[in-house]
Amino acid sequence: MVEAGKKVNYYRLALRRGKMHRMTLSEDDRLIGEGGGVFGYLAPMFDSMDYECTWHRLCLEGSFSNCKYEVIVVATDENLEALLTDEKLSFQDCINLLKDRNYFRKVNTTDMLLHSIQGRYLWVAVLVAGSKMDSQFKIEGFSVEFP
């Protein structure tokens, strides 16, 4: 018999707790942005309560027009919450701190397997690069599956 896994969802109200760079929340709690340049979202930390947790899958739901998007996922047994929620750190500084650890990265992919990362605490960042002034996106949210 196969045991059902667990899932954490980052949709609507949960998106409010993240750190945003140039993107905003719509009235119906979707992450939105338009125009050229880089936009970013760093989700709040998720604690699996299991050291060396193996993560399974991330599914991103959204629409992207004339944009490139990148998902960065970090799992670590070290709690980085105090460091990454420091208001003195810029959004890019937070991304650089995450990339100093073992991370998983995918570009323009909505469904990804995360088997290569392990750790109790999970961080997810979504970066969107608009290529033109008519670039626009709307992120409904994302979910992460784990054992």
pLDDT tens by residue, 23-43: 999 999 999 999 999 999 999
**Residue whose structure tokens are 């460091």:** 83
pLDDT at 131: 85
> Is residue 1 scored above 70 in pLDDT?
no
Tell me the percentage of the chain whose pLDDT exceeds 90: 93
Which long-range contacts does 85-92 make (Cβ < 8 Å, 24+ apart)?
Answer: 85/19, 91/19, 91/20, 91/21, 91/40, 91/42, 92/21
Model-level pTM?
Answer: 0.94
Work out the average pLDDT over 115-128.
97
Pairing of strands 31-34, 57-65: unpaired
Residue 5 banded pLDDT, cuts 50, 70, 90: confident
Residue 113 banded pLDDT, cuts 50, 70, 90: very high
For residues 30 and 50, what is the distance between their CA atoms, to the nearest angstrom? 30
pLDDT at 3: 57
Pairing of strands 37-42, 103-107: unpaired
**Bridge partners, 77 (sequence order):** none
Work out the average pLDDT over 51-61.
97
Taking CA atoms, 15 is separated from 63, 73, 74, 142, 143, in Å, by: 16, 16, 18, 9, 11
Pairing of strands 67-76, 57-65: unpaired
- For the chain, give the mean pLDDT: 94
> Is residue 101 scored above 90 in pLDDT?
yes
Helix (H, G, I), strand (E, B) or coil at 85: coil
